[in-house]
Amino acid sequence: MNHYVCAAFMLIQFIVCSLSYAQVSDFEYRIDRVEIHSETLNETHTVSVYLPPDYEQNKESYPVFYVLESIYAFLNAISAVHGDGKMSTTIPEMIVVGVNTSDRWRDLSPSFIPDWHGYPIPQSGGGANYLAFLEKEVIPKVDSTYRTHPFRVLYGHSLGGLFTLFSLVEKPELFSGYIASSPNLEYDQRIVTQKAKAITNASIPSPRFVFLNSDNDADDYAEEISRFTTVIDERGLNVEYTFKDYIEHDHWNVPRYSLGDGLRFVFKDYTLPDSAIARGANAIEGFYDALSLKYGFQVKPMGGYINFLSMNLLREDRLNEAIDMLEYNTRLYPDYSYVYERLGDALLQAERIEEARAIYQRALSLDPENQSLLDKRASVNE
């Protein structure tokens, strides 16, 4: 089957897959539609922006996941991020930005070729313009509108996967993570692989994380990916990569799996090790400080997760360690009333009444109408 001629079939199947997959998660979220008139492309684009469920209830900033051809993949991307992000130690919560194309052959192909296996594509070769559109118009608009971290991940499938790797070799400073699902690196005499031979670590400001995969529809995907990664190795580039061959999935089904697997690779060091948990709050804080240095933005555990760890300590009668954990949580989230409330409860359990009173008061200053807090403060004032 010609992977690029069958766009209509791909659209129908991806929409059906995305909708069925999204129904697995029962949660409320906000999606904005942001209109951008592109001077670069001389056309108007509507960008879809998913915000984490508690975005409006906090002041946190988030890494951003850019999804190409989002009409096919946006809902799957939300499911992958939300399923692993909220209350997870696998990946952080993220903003998801879905970007479409008016003409995928024009926008996602890195160079001009007259045809692809006999299919005429006279409009091909606009990849550099589309990359400029992302760099100069989409990313600045997202960064100025939402609370973002500079850590960005780019996802593309098929021709979009080729463009994803093109962006790595053309503008390696633009994204930190790349998920290239079934990229056809054979395109135009392997032009993207050839371009990789020209880049150096001087143009890569920090480690780049690249997930690549093939599927069971084309035997040459894995071979072409191997050629590309060989160049990465030979040049000693500051790129961490992995490859997965989804032999059990076809070309159209594989994005449902590569999205989540790709994010878990990009954030492969994000999971808090049991050894740090066993050593307590100071070790956990040190782990996330080191992780922040690696990824280039402040990486924090979920406040709810730290509360969960403290509850485990309380069940084991390790009261002082639980208090240390909850005090760490207040340093992480000083504007959240619930973290102070949990700390006040633990202090009260430890019969540290004056400290508990002060902590409840701090919680009430953030949430003055909270009846539970009002009752607790009254009880310690008796």
Task: Give the three-state DSSP class for 66.
Answer: strand
Find out whether 227 and 192 touch, Cβ atoms under 8 Å.
Answer: no
Task: Give the three-state DSSP class for 292.
Answer: helix
Identify the bridge partners of residue 156 per DSSP, sorted by sequence position: 180
230-268 residue pLDDT tens: 999 999 999 999 999 999 999 889 999 999 999 999 999
pLDDT at 90: 84
pLDDT at 188: 96
Q: Around Cβ 123, how many Cβ atoms within 10 Å?
A: 13
Arithmetic mean of pLDDT, 109-133 = 96
Domains detected in the chain:
7-266 (3.40.50.1820), 274-381 (1.25.40.10)
DSSP secondary structure string for all residues of 297-337: S-----HHHHHHHHHHHHHTT-HHHHHHHHHHHHHH-TT-H
Residue 124 amino acid letter: S
pLDDT at 382: 74
Which segment, 52-56, 91-95, 109-113, is predicted with the most confidence on average?
109-113
pLDDT at 148: 97
Identify the bridge partners of residue 36 per DSSP, sorted by sequence position: 45
What sign for the dihedral angle of Cα 114, 163, 80, 148?
negative
In this model, does residue 8 exceed pLDDT 90?
no
pLDDT at 296: 86
Identify the bridge partners of residue 66 per DSSP, sorted by sequence position: 97, 154
Task: Give the three-state DSSP class for 246.
Answer: strand
38-48 residue pLDDT tens: 999 999 999 99
299-336 residue pLDDT tens: 988 888 899 999 999 999 999 999 999 999 999 999 99
User: What is the 8-class DSSP label of residue 90?
Assistant: S
pLDDT at 27: 54
Dihedral pair phi/psi, residue 175, rounded to 5°: -125, 150
pLDDT at 303: 86
Arithmetic mean of pLDDT, 200-224 = 89
Find out whether 109 and 68 touch, Cβ atoms under 8 Å.
Answer: no
pLDDT at 14: 36
pLDDT at 86: 52
Q: In the structure encoding, which two tokens stand for residue 176, read together?
A: 């930190």
Q: In the structure encoding, which two tokens stand for residue 226, read together?
A: 């191997």
Residue 59 pLDDT level (bands cut at 50, 70, 90): confident
Q: What is the dihedral of CA 236, 205, 171, 33, to 10 degrees?
A: 130
Nearest of 235, 225, 226 to residue 198 by alpha carbon: 235
pLDDT at 323: 97
Residue 11 pLDDT level (bands cut at 50, 70, 90): very low
Q: 346 versus 24: which is more confidently predicted?
A: 346
Residue 88 pLDDT level (bands cut at 50, 70, 90): low
Residue 268 amino acid letter: K
Which segment, 82-96, 125-139, 293-307, is predicted with the most confidence on average?
125-139
Arithmetic mean of pLDDT, 9-23 = 35
In sequence order, the 6+-apart residues with CB closer than 8 A to the CB of 13 are 252, 253
pLDDT at 9: 34
Nearest of 184, 141, 149 to residue 35 by alpha carbon: 141
pLDDT at 82: 78
Task: Give the residue carrying structure tokens 């209509």.
Answer: 8
Q: 85 versus 199: which is more confidently predicted?
A: 199
Residue 58 pLDDT level (bands cut at 50, 70, 90): confident
pLDDT at 5: 37
pLDDT at 54: 82
Q: Around Cβ 103, how many Cβ atoms within 10 Å?
A: 15
Least confidently predicted of 16-25, 132-141, 207-216, 241-250: 16-25
pLDDT at 254: 93
Nearest of 292, 295, 369 to residue 332 by alpha carbon: 292
Q: What percent of the chain has pLDDT over 90?
A: 75
